[in-house]
Each structure stands twice: as C-alpha cells, then as structure tokens.
Amino acid sequence: MNKLFSIVKPIITEKSTIAQEKGKYEFEVLRDADKTTIKRAFEELYGVKVISITTRILPKKSRFIKRGVLWDKRNAAKRAIVRVEKGKTIDPNKIK
C-alpha cells in the first residue's frame, strides 16, 4: 500500500473546525491504514510534525423511512484525528 494514499479526504464539520483551533485535524483514511502509515503520509503531505493520532472505525449505517423503504446507506469508514505541534496550523484542503 502506498503510504500517501492512506489519507482519503479531510472531514469538515462544526466539531472538527472547533478542534482545528486546538491543533487537531480529522481525516477519513483507508480501513487497512495503521497509525504509523497515517503519520508518515500526513507529515509528507503537509510538512508538519505529528504529536499523536487517534483512530476510530465508524460502523455501516442505513436509515429507513415509511414502511421499510431504504432512504440512505453509508459504508463503514475509518477516521483519524491528527494532533500537530503547538503553534503549527495547516489548511486541510491544500497539500504541500
């Protein structure tokens, strides 16, 4: 697996935007990516030293409405919260 492709996309929500002020950035990553792979990819793509990484796996989810009609379906995904050095900031949408 190429380490640069372990980061899929940044997650931009109200909660993650507030966490960015504290130096924490949230990204969707590949399911088979481990913390060391994510760290290397992040440091190479953004040029900032990583302090810590927290990962979580979101379960597959379906929402139903009106007598069992399928409305929305989400695949299982893995997200990583990356904490960078104090005083350093990045733009999650722009790569170095």
What pLDDT is attached to residue 74? 76
Could you state, in chain order, the average pLDDT of each consecutive group of 10 residues for the chain (96 residues)? 77 93 94 93 92 94 71 84 92 78
What pLDDT is attached to residue 96? 61
Which uninterrupted H or E stretch holds 18?
Answer: helix 14-20
Give the CATH number of domain 3-84; options: 3.40.50.150, 3.20.20.70, 3.30.70.330, 3.30.565.10.
3.30.70.330
What pLDDT is attached to residue 11? 92
Structure tokens at 86: 């104090």
Strand partners, 27: 10, 80
Domain boundaries along the sequence of the chain:
3-84
What pLDDT is attached to residue 24? 96
What pLDDT is attached to residue 61? 80
Count of CB atoms within 10 A of residue 28's CB? 14
